[in-house]
Amino acid sequence: MEGDAAAEPAFKPLTREEAQDLRARLPVMSVWSLLAWQAAAGVVMVALWGLLSLQADKTWSALFGAVSVVVPNALMAWGMTRQSARDAGTPMLTFAVWELVKIILAVAILVAVVAGFASLSWAALLSTLVVTLKANWLALLRRGRIRK
């Protein structure tokens, strides 16, 4: 068996037809559509907290949870999809820098909310934050990218 593995090349280039077939089976998903799913999940959670609790502080807390996910992700998406980011010779460095910017902004938003919003509802903030973060899974499931 070891002889068989050594006989086959480690990398086999795709033919034009194989590459086209692969592209057809795995269409590219826009980062903006994933961001739209996150924003929609955030809006749904804010509406649920508002309608079910009928308390403004819980609704605002839920909104802050959604904003702490969507705004940093939107900034990173913008930074990564700019022409200068795509032309960079070091795409991993570009990704790392924008990921760091995203994390710093998310933490800054959460710290500002905790420091500046006295009647914060942790349950509303954290539940909305988690659902908004996990909305990407819904988008991927819908597109068939995750096998059930």
- 68 or 84, greater pLDDT: 68
Give the chain's length: 148
**Predicted confidence (pLDDT) at residue 77 exceeds the cutoff of 70:** yes
> 106-119 b/e with 16+ CB inside 10 Å = b?
beebbeebeeeeee
Inside any domain, residue 7: no
Of residues 25 and 78, the one with the higher pLDDT is 78
pLDDT digits (tens, 9 = 90+) for 17-34: 887 887 777 767 788 888
**Residue 5 within a domain:** no
Range of the domain at 53: 32-142
Q: pLDDT category, 3, cuts 50, 70, 90?
A: low
Q: Is residue 40 part of a domain?
A: yes
Looking at residue 22, its pLDDT comes to: 77
Does any domain span residue 18? no
Q: Is 92 exposed, middle or buried (0-12, 13-18, 19+ CB in 10 A)?
A: exposed
Q: What percent of the chain has pLDDT over 70?
A: 84
